[in-house]
Chains A and B, each alone.
Chain A
């Protein structure tokens, strides 16, 4: 696929025609991605693979820590948060299968705190609170 570089002028700027082509190319690509279940599956697979690699690194390097301020500022965790709402199903799946501390990750992505005061500190109840929230909001 031609890139914008081919249309770059000697002064380094791009022509108006080239910019229009680039915008249309991007729009066509996004349309194609969103309507292709095959490409969507490939994207989801690569997202899960990336998430899993970040998850393993984060869990390994924070497993002895009891300080969420430090653990949530780990680079792998910050990257997971930056992935945003698209990883919510993966986080909920993690909670369902592995019962780990994804509460702050979920909070940082959604801004939600679905934990009633009587559940504070009880990891199992907090896990169920987040799973229920995900079910109610069609996350999974």
Chain B
């Protein structure tokens, strides 16, 4: 177990560190199962962002990113056999984070430039990243 002040629900929910600090990828990439690049729609273009997706710090652009990667919008984060799910978090209109559901139902997240954690959705919500604003799912072949 790990407890971080930025996530006030973490002491009372599943929240486990699963990696060392790694600055090479971020949560947006990790949710897409990519630990080789940093995904971000920065204005200069230093970071990776598919050219087909609007390069903007908006919730819609972040949802479009995952739709571009084959995910579709869905209603909740319940475990569904045959599907992998992603949760997009935001603080108001600003997208802040994404997490990916594992086949156990638990979620995995990269915390910025810091560590990976496995957690429940409530463990992350109401903290540094705000709350889930959209779930997406993709069929696992």
Contact = CB atoms under 8 A, between A and B. Distances in A.
A113 interface: yes
Interface residues of B, number: 31
A121 B48 contact: yes
Given A101-B38, A113-B44, A115-B46, 13 more contacts: A62-B113, A63-B112, A63-B114, A66-B96, A66-B97, A69-B42, A107-B44, A120-B45, A120-B48, A121-B49, A122-B48, A123-B24, A124-B24
Contacts of A123: 23-25, 37-38
A101 to B, nearest CB: 6
Interface of B: 6, 23-29, 36-40, 42-49, 57, 94, 96-97, 111-114, 128-129
Contact of B113 (A70, A101, A107, A122): A101
B36 A122 contact: yes
Interface of A: 59, 62-70, 99-101, 103-104, 107, 113, 115, 120-124, 126
18 contacts: A62-B112, A62-B113, A63-B112, A64-B111, A64-B112, A64-B128, A66-B26, A66-B97, A69-B57, A103-B46, A104-B44, A107-B44, A113-B46, A121-B29, A123-B23, A123-B25, A123-B37, A124-B24
Contacts of B40: 66-68
A64 B6 contact: yes
Contacts of A103: 46
B112 A121 contact: no
Contacts of B45: 120
